[in-house]
């Protein structure tokens, strides 16, 4: 498929001045009617159980695609898929994996310091000695295979 510039060059080569004039008039009309539209929202709505139920209702009652539902309710298509396929976001449990992940992401965006993890339990002295005296398993002989071995 030819580009607009290639099409214009072909018109010039063949001396089609009337077509070139028409093309220029169309360009001017396009420039006059061009508008700058605001960009689509980058951040969607916060996922809530009510919003998840609305997504399920739209999915069950309409023939809309996940992308259409996402545009209608103001979330991305991945969130719609999570609600429909895995039932995420239906409970208001703050300990649900998706809620914990959301809260961590919000904390990172705000620049909050990372919460400190509790220190791991250290091994007892007896366990340390047992681990130190443990003899490693004998390695298998990795010798070379000769043709006579077959």
pLDDT single digits (tens) 94-117: 788 877 887 888 888 888 777 677
CB 55 within 8 Å of CB 80: yes
Phi, psi of 138 (to 5 degrees): -65, 130
> Residue 133: helix, strand or coil by DSSP?
helix
* pLDDT interval class at 81 (50, 70, 90): very high
């Amino acid at each position: 498929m030819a580009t607009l510039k290639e099409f214009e060059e072909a018109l010039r080569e063949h001396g089609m001045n009337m077509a070139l004039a028409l093309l220029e008039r169309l360009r001017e009309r396009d420039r006059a009617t061009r508008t700058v539209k605001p960009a689509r929202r980058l951040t969607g709505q916060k996922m809530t159980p009510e919003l998840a139920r609305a997504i399920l209702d739209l999915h069950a009652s309409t023939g809309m695609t996940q992308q259409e539902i996402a545009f209608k309710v103001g979330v991305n298509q991945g969130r719609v898929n999570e609600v429909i396929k895995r039932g995420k976001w239906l409970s208001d449990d703050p300990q649900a994996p998706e809620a914990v992940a959301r809260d961590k992401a919000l904390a990172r965006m705000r620049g909050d310091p990372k919460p400190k993890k509790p220190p791991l339990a250290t091994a007892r002295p007896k366990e340390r000695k047992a681990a130190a005296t443990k003899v490693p398993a004998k390695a298998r002989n990795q010798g070379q295979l000769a043709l006579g071995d077959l």
